[in-house]
Amino acid sequence: AQSVAQPEDQVNVAEGNPLTVKCTYSVSGNPYLFWYVQYPNRGLQFLLKYITGDNLVKGSYGFEAEFNKSQTSFHLKKPSALVSDSALYFCAVRGNPGGSARQLTFGSGTQLTVLP
Amino acid sequence: DTAVSQTPKYLVTQMGNDKSIKCEQNLGHDTMYWYKQDSKKFLKIMFSYNNKELIINETVPNRFSPKSPDKAHLNLHINSLELGDSAVYFCASSPSTGLNEQYFGPGTRLTVT
């Protein structure tokens, strides 16, 4: 079974500082990894995904994520945090797309707070 | 234009009642999903339909029954509501081919009293 771990429930960072939100995964075969963001009382919004290729993936709003196969990690990063980045972030993984299940497994979420 | 819409946004009802949540997407996707987000924000898939065919049915009580009248709609009917059903329910959609991201609706907050 596939799984995702987000070891930090809460991450606080000062505005202008770099931020990292951690994610590790477990899946059979090649991993397909996603980051989503959820603002209060809203649905999830897609940020970026890793399918294959370059280990550094760039996404929306200046976010990027680094895929590390040996460490089974896919950490979300941003060089300079904004107060408006404060939200709940979810990492998600799915396995072989050829199967009948197109199931995304989500992590437990990390609340990011950017302090002015 | 709203890509994935859900109605109602809020739903307050008593135990034992039957209720439905509707979802519509105008993205032309042929795969749709229902997720449940509990009070701790944990997100878990409940159902997935592809071209009106059920392809994912997680361990969900039989009181929950999805219905897909066409590719653009996936409704969720819940019978005999229980306190533990209180949660936010999200609908999502994606293209069925490739490794595409899912697009989520705004959610329906269900409160069972």
pLDDT at A7 over 90: yes
Token output for A63: 């976010």
**What is the per-residue pLDDT for A100?**
42
Q: What is the mean pLDDT of residues A32-52?
A: 93
Q: Which of A70-79, A105-114, B43-52 has the lowest mean pLDDT?
A: B43-52
Residue B60, chain A, CB below 8 Å: the answer is no
User: What's the CA gap between A76 and A59, in Å, rounded?
Assistant: 10
Provide the pLDDT for residue B1: 63
Question: Chain B within 8 Å of A26 (Cβ-Cβ)?
Answer: no
Nearest residue to A88 (alpha-carbon basis) of A104, A65, A110, A62: A110
Residues 6+ apart with CB under 8 A from B28: none
pLDDT of residue A56 exceeding 60: yes
Query: Contact at 8 Å (CB) between A12 and A113?
Result: yes
- Of A46, A88, A108, which is closest to B101 when you measure between CB atoms? A46
Q: Which of A95-99, A109-113, B47-51, B80-84 has the lowest mean pLDDT?
A: A95-99
Q: Is A97 on the interface with B (CB under 8 A)?
A: yes
| DSSP-assigned states of every residue in B67-110 | EEEETTEEEEEE-S--GGG-EEEEEEEE-SSSSPPPEE---EEE
- CA dist B103 and B5 (Å) reads 10
pLDDT at B98: 64
Token code pair at residue A60: 């929306």
CA angle B106, A15, A78 (to 5 degrees): 65
Residues of chain B with pLDDT under 70: 1, 97-98
